């Protein structure tokens, strides 16, 4: 009798398990769910996971259902290489960030979804949001479209293209299941010695406002969570005031010493972002009039209390550790009480959770402050659709993979418009049919230098070849027949050329690594072969077209400049080198203008004196007739 009863129970248990499996589904690995939906994890049964219950609840109701520890966990974002899937299942962190490796969209989907599955299976069951610095396209994904950096977009000054960049970045980011983009950087570029100059649209606040809001609208319309940064005055810091805690920075993270009127002008840029619907704002590493922004409650709370910002505010990379509070505990408490909602604490995230929960008990952080932070975080996630579609199964994604020809053509158009013609003596440009062109210089065939920092790696890729990137030389060689020219790259045949195309530029860098004392093209941050290439071109005695591939207006030796017949500022054009070859060969005219003054010496910085003024840029002239661009 007992055996029979046991057998019946076993059969019933098996039937229940099978039924549950059929209802609940499972989580396949990789792209088992199919490429059409661009998901790597199938849907889960709503009834079995809290996120489905949350979908019908308000953010306030969700917050009320959470324990203090669960609330605190929503307020942190560790780096992906410091947190395990098990930790996510145990703690359900609000966000995860940073680069994983040189991987493609399918690998990104698998990785992001693995952590999402763990978050949904946690006790809190709140979907997390993956954050990334996709500052010129989805620049940590292999074979994605990499647009010109913001400084080049400022030179192009095309509002519609800025919107398209946002839409395309959103589409390719969704292919990776990365929904939170730490972009745009809306800094005002004041001193080109700053290592983040290329992340700025330039020095004109009106242009910055116009382009950044268009871009944000594109991101949002495309389904991403945008992040305006770095609040406030990160590009207005003074040379010599750079942060000195662990690294002696020249200017980055320094002090912006501004009047109330100057501050109000910068606040208008953020007000435009808020009015455009930006969902998150990231605080600057820098100081404003001697006060670190990560503890500047007056200006952080101004966003919420006076400017109508309803999203959440995030700290930057471990930046709370550089405020005035003496202990880590006090740094966490101070920054949260100042109004920061989510802390980017790469390694000490679990410690932050404990500090917050202990501070709630002691009254050092109020329950109201934590509830407001978590409510804002959950509100943004809900509006992004994460509670209804955490694996992006229902999300509208236009392309099946990154790097489509359609998107590359948009980037190529932006490259064309970003080029600034500084000089064109004897109408050396456009290159004429039948010309033999000798291509030389360290930036001619270097994808890393062409894309700059924030490409595959933080300070730029270590190799000269990058998947999906067409270098300047690649483009000329691929389309030479269409252009009606002959390309020479062998220096032993250089004397046969009619014209020299000299490509020089800067090393790759990011943030303080790009701070420079000399700002010279052949200085500390210039490509090491610049000087040799310039001298070689001079010895040839041929007409020379110099292309400068750099993240800012570098100081050029007047003798070199005088030797060159034509000079083109390319900034950091990204993956589509054909945009450069098309313009130089007369398939399109130059329309780019300098987005900030070009100083002729360090002494001119901060004065009304300059080598070339803001807005300068030549064209081929009224009689120019473009020839047909070659098809890709």
Distance CA 391, CA 385 (A): 10
Q: Are residues 475 and 374 in the same domain?
A: no
**Sheet arrangement for strand 420-424:** 420-424, 566-569, 544-549, 499-505, 436-440, 486-488
Distance CA 503, CA 438 (A): 11
Give pLDDT, residue 19: 38
| SS3 letters across 12-58 | HHHHHHHHHHHHHCCCCCCCCCCCCCCCCCCCCCHHHCHHHHHCCCC
Q: Report the SS3 class of residue 261.
A: helix
Tell me the DSSP string of 114-141.
HHHHHHHTSSS-PPPEEEE--BTBSTTB
Q: Are residues 133 and 281 in the same domain?
A: yes
Q: How far is CA 114 from the centre of its chain?
A: 24
Domains identified in the chain, total number:
2
Report the C-alpha dihedral over residues 151, 202, 418, 195, rounded to 10 degrees.
Answer: -20
Q: Are residues 287 and 207 in the same domain?
A: yes
β-bridge mates for residue 96, sequence order: 130
Instruction: Say yes or no to pLDDT of 2 above 50.
Output: no
Q: Report the SS3 class of residue 313.
A: strand
Higher pLDDT among residues 528 and 32, named by residue = 528
Residue 593 covered by a domain: yes
* Phi/psi at 487 (5° precision): -100, 135
Residue 454 covered by a domain: yes
Contacts of 576 (CB under 8 A, 6+ apart): 145, 408, 411, 412, 415, 470
Residue 510 covered by a domain: yes
| SS3 letters across 145-180 | CECCCHHHHHHHCCHHHHHHHHHHHHHHHHHCCCCE
Residue-wise pLDDT tens digits, 213-240: 999 999 999 999 999 999 999 999 999 9
Contacts of 274 (CB under 8 A, 6+ apart): 303, 307, 308, 309
Residue 123 covered by a domain: no
Nearest in space to 386 (alpha carbons), one of 48, 42, 51, 24:
51
Report the C-alpha dihedral over residues 536, 540, 544, 549, rounded to 10 degrees.
Answer: -20
Residue-wise pLDDT tens digits, 367-399: 999 999 999 999 999 999 999 999 999 999 999
Q: Are residues 288 and 372 in the same domain?
A: yes
Token look-up 């970045």 returns: 169
Instruction: Say yes or no to pLDDT of 6 above 80.
Output: no
Distance CA 97, CA 115 (A): 12
Residue-wise pLDDT tens digits, 70-120: 999 999 999 999 999 999 999 999 999 998 788 999 999 999 999 999 999
Give pLDDT, residue 487: 98
Give pLDDT, residue 38: 55
Q: Are residues 373 and 510 in the same domain?
A: no
Q: How far is CA 176 from the centre of its chain?
A: 15
Q: Are residues 453 and 330 in the same domain?
A: no
Residue-wise pLDDT tens digits, 9-34: 333 343 334 334 333 333 333 333 33
Residue 536 covered by a domain: yes
Q: Are residues 493 and 372 in the same domain?
A: no
Structural tokens at position 107: 């690998």
| SS3 letters across 338-371 | CCCCEECCCCCHHHHHHHHHHHHHHCCCCHHHHH
* Phi/psi at 483 (5° precision): -80, -15
What's the burial of 481, exposed, middle or buried (CB within 10 Å: 0-12/13-18/19+)? exposed
What's the burial of 53, exposed, middle or buried (CB within 10 Å: 0-12/13-18/19+)? middle
β-bridge mates for residue 504, sequence order: 548
Tell me the DSSP string of 554-615.
-B--HHHHHH-SEEEE----TTBTHHHHHHHTTSS------SS-B-SSGGGTTSS--SB-TT
Token look-up 């912006």 returns: 256
Q: How far is CA 315 from the centre of its chain?
A: 16
Contacts of 247 (CB under 8 A, 6+ apart): 512
Residue-wise pLDDT tens digits, 245-291: 889 999 999 999 999 999 999 999 999 999 999 999 999 999 999 99
Angle (deg, nearest 10), helices 260-276 and 205-221: 20
Q: Work out the mean pLDDT of the chain and round it to a whole number.
A: 93
Higher pLDDT among residues 617 and 29, named by residue = 617
Output the CA–CA distances (angstroms, integers) from residue 73 to 70, 186, 319, 370, 543, in the order listed: 5, 29, 18, 11, 63
For range 197-219, the mean pLDDT:
98
Residue 216 covered by a domain: yes
- The pTM (predicted TM-score) of the whole model is 0.93
| Residue where a domain terminates, one of 362, 383, 404 | 383
Angle (deg, nearest 10), helices 297-305 and 260-276: 40
Q: Are residues 529 and 591 in the same domain?
A: yes
Q: Are residues 598 and 468 in the same domain?
A: yes
Nearest in space to 596 (alpha carbons), one of 140, 193, 258:
193
For range 591-604, the mean pLDDT:
98
* Phi/psi at 618 (5° precision): -90, 170
Residue-wise pLDDT tens digits, 456-471: 999 999 999 999 999 9
**Sheet arrangement for strand 95-97:** 95-97, 129-132, 180-181, 225-231, 280-283, 312-314
Give pLDDT, residue 18: 35
Residue 446 covered by a domain: yes
Q: Are residues 514 and 558 in the same domain?
A: yes
Give pLDDT, residue 246: 86
Exposure string of 565-596, with b = 16+ CB inside 10 Å and e = fewer, is bbbbbbbbbbbbbbbbbbbbbbbbbbbbbbbb
Is the separation of the CB atoms in 474 and 577 below 8 Å? yes
For range 612-622, the mean pLDDT:
97
Give pLDDT, residue 494: 98
Q: How many CB atoms within 10 Å of residue 448?
A: 22
Share of the chain above pLDDT 70, in %: 92
Residue-wise pLDDT tens digits, 36-51: 345 554 445 544 688 8
* Phi/psi at 26 (5° precision): -145, 175
Instruction: Say yes or no to pLDDT of 333 above 60.
Output: yes
Q: Are residues 330 and 451 in the same domain?
A: no
Domain that holds residue 435: 419-604
Question: What is the Rg, in whole angstroms, of the alpha carbon atoms belonging to the chain?
Answer: 26
Structural tokens at position 618: 């030549």
Q: How confident is the model at residue 574 (pLDDT cuts 50, 70, 90)?
A: very high
| Residue where a domain terminates, one of 383, 407, 431 | 383
Q: Are residues 434 and 374 in the same domain?
A: no
Indicate which CATH number applies to the domain containing 173. Answer: 3.20.20.300
Indicate which CATH number applies to the domain containing 505. Answer: 3.40.50.1700
Residue 229 covered by a domain: yes
| Residue where a domain terminates, one of 383, 408, 439 | 383
Output the CA–CA distances (angstroms, integers) from residue 613 to 159, 553, 596, 610, in the order listed: 22, 11, 7, 6
């Amino acid at each position: 009798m007992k055996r029979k009863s046991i057998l019946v129970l076993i059969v019933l248990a098996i039937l229940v398990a099978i039924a549950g499996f059929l209802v609940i589904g499972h989580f396949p690995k990789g792209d088992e769910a199919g490429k059409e939906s661009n998901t790597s994890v199938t849907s889960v049964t709503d009834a079995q996971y809290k996120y489905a219950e949350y979908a019908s609840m308000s953010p306030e109701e969700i917050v009320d259902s959470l324990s203090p520890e669960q609330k605190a966990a929503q307020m942190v974002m560790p780096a992906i290489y410091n947190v395990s899937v098990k930790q996510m299942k145990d703690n359900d962190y609000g966000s995860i960030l940073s680069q994983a490796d040189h991987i493609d969209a399918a690998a990104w989907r698998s990785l992001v979804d693995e952590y999402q599955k763990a978050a949904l299976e946690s006790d809190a069951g709140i979907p997390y949001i993956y954050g990334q610095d996709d500052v010129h396209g989805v620049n940590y994904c292999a074979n994605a479209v990499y647009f010109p950096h913001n400084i080049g977009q400022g030179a192009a000054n095309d509002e519609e293209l800025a919107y398209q960049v946002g839409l395309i970045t959103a589409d390719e980011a969704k292919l990776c299941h990365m929904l939170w983009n730490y972009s745009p950087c809306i800094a005002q570029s004041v001193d080109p010695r700053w290592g983040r100059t290329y992340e700025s649209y330039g020095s004109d606040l009106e242009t910055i406002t116009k382009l950044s809001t268009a871009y944000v609208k594109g991101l949002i319309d495309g389904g991403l969570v945008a992040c305006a940064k770095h609040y406030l005055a990160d590009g207005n810091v003074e040379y010599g005031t750079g942060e000195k805690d662990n690294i002696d920075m020249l200017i980055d993270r320094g002090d912006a010493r501004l009047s109330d009127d100057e501050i109000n002008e910068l606040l208008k840029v953020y007000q435009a972002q808020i009015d455009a619907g930006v969902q998150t704002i990231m605080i600057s590493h820098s100081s404003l009039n001697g006060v670190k922004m990560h503890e500047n409650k007056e200006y952080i709370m101004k966003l919420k209390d006076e400017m109508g910002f309803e999203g959440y505010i995030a700290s930057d990379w471990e930046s709370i550790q550089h405020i005035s509070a003496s202990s880590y505990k006090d740094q966490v408490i101070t920054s949260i009480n100042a109004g920061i909602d989510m802390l980017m604490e790469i390694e000490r995230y679990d410690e932050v959770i404990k500090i917050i929960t202990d501070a709630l008990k002691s009254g050092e952080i109020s329950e109201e402050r934590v509830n407001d932070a978590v409510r804002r975080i959950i509100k943004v996630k809900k509006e992004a659709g994460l509670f209804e579609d955490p694996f992006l199964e229902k999300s509208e994604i236009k392309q099946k993979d990154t790097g489509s020809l359609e998107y590359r053509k948009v980037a190529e158009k932006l490259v064309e418009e970003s080029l600034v013609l500084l000089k064109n003596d004897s109408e050396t440009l456009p290159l004429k049919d039948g010309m033999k062109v000798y291509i030389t210089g360290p930036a001619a065939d270097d994808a890393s230098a062409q894309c700059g920092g924030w490409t595959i790696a933080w300070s730029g890729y270590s190799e000269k070849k990058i998947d999906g990137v067409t270098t300047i030389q690649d483009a000329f060689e691929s389309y030479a027949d269409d252009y009606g020219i002959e390309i020479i790259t062998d220096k032993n045949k250089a004397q046969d050329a009619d014209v020299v195309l000299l490509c020089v530029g800067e090393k790759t860098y990011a943030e303080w690594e790009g701070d420079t004392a000399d700002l010279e093209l052949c200085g500390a941050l210039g490509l090491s072969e610049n000087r040799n290439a310039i001298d070689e071109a001079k010895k040839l005695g041929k007409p020379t077209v110099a292309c400068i591939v750099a993240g800012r207006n570098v100081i050029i030796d007047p003798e070199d400049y005088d030797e060159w017949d034509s000079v083109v500022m390319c900034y950091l054009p990204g993956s589509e080198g054909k945009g450069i070859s098309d313009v130089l060969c007369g398939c399109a005219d130059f329309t780019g203008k300098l987005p900030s003054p070009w100083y002729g010496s360090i002494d001119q910085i901060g004065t009304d004196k300059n080598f070339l003024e803001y807005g300068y840029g030549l064209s081929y002239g009224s009689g120019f007739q473009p020839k047909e661009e070659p098809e890709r």
